[in-house]
Amino acid sequence: MQTLLLILHLLLAAAAKVEDSEKKRNVSDAICVFNVGNVSGHVMFHQSTGGNVTVQGNLTNLPKGKHGFHVHQYGDLSNGCASTGPHFNPYGMNHGGPTAYDRHVGDLGNIEADENGSALFIMVDHLLTLNGNNSIIGRAVVVHANEDDLGCGGQNDSLTTGHAGGRLACCVIGIAKSKRKNEQLH
């Protein structure tokens, strides 16, 4: 019986060490591939050690114009984009633009599709992180039907959703191979 307890104790200790090493892992690259809805493409995220996150994307088949672009709470696509929940907002702030003090962590403003439906973009964000308790890994990126009013539109939902309309496309953010940061968008 004592041998069995010792083995159980050792197994639990080993499992705890694996879990701790997973939590301490320094993720520098993530990717989100769109395959729900008509929109195609991907968004890549890169975080330098302790720094800002660079967000780079190449999307196609979007309607021409500006579209709200956000990180949502859940990476749950069981009911399409509807199950991704609200914007990622761990600090309980109002909705705002990407440079506003009062904003959700997931508020990334707008992307713009050209007349061919393509949106090629790069942005740098100081609130996103790929590590720690507020990591965006496992959460969703959502592209909305309308332009995000950045919380300034005066609509009933301006301070919660940016009045950005329905959800056109979404994907789940996952850890990427580190080499992705050196790949070119095309």
What are the catalytic residues?
Answer: 70, 72, 87, 95, 104, 107, 144, 167
Instruction: State the Rg of the chain over Cα.
Output: 19
Q: How far apart are CA 47 and CA 173, in angstroms?
A: 14
**3 state SS of 146:** coil
Asked if residue 103 lies in contact with residue 95, where contact means CB atoms within 8 angstroms, the answer is yes
Cα–Cα dist 19/133, whole Å: 14
CB 15 within 8 Å of CB 151: no
Cα dihedral 131/54/161/86 (nearest 10): -30
CA angle at 67 for the pair 62 and 71, rounded to the nearest 5°:
105
The residue count of the chain comes to 186
34: helix, coil or strand? strand
